[in-house]
Amino acid sequence: MTQDQIEKLIQSIQAFSKCPTCNSQYEASEIRLLEETANTCLLEMRCKKCRTKAIGTVLVHEPSINPSFDKHKISSKEKVSKRPLKNDDIIKFNDFLKGFNGDFTKILNSRK
């Protein structure tokens, strides 16, 4: 990725991501690219307010790195879970992660 593409990606992540602990919006300076491959980026977000670190993997396709990306914000209804998490949900997710190979392509393509 070029420097311009990385900056646009960080702007997009900034528009959609908040600190999981204090819900503060990240500033661009708080988002750091740790690693990149042909179509994925590993990012670290560090909240200035509460100092929580978060790591995220982003699957990158060229058309999605777009400066107008932040115009398509997800509504609060889409962000909120339909019900509270239960212990079984955590166990199922843990079981899923044990067998997950890190390739998000299959998961993301199944949602289309």
Q: Domain residue spans in the chain? A: 3-110
pTM for the model stands at 0.51
Per-residue model confidence as pLDDT tens digits over 16-38: 888 889 999 999 899 999 988 87
> Residue 35 forms beta bridges with which residues?
42
Which of 16, 57, 65, 17 is closest to 40 using CA atoms?
57
pLDDT band at 44 (very low <50, low <70, confident <90, very high): very high
User: Strands across the sheet with 40-46, in order?
Assistant: 31-36, 40-46, 53-59
Per-residue model confidence as pLDDT tens digits over 58-111: 887 655 444 444 444 555 555 555 677 788 888 988 888 888 887 777 776 765
Count the Cβ atoms, other than its own, within 10 Å of residue 8: 17
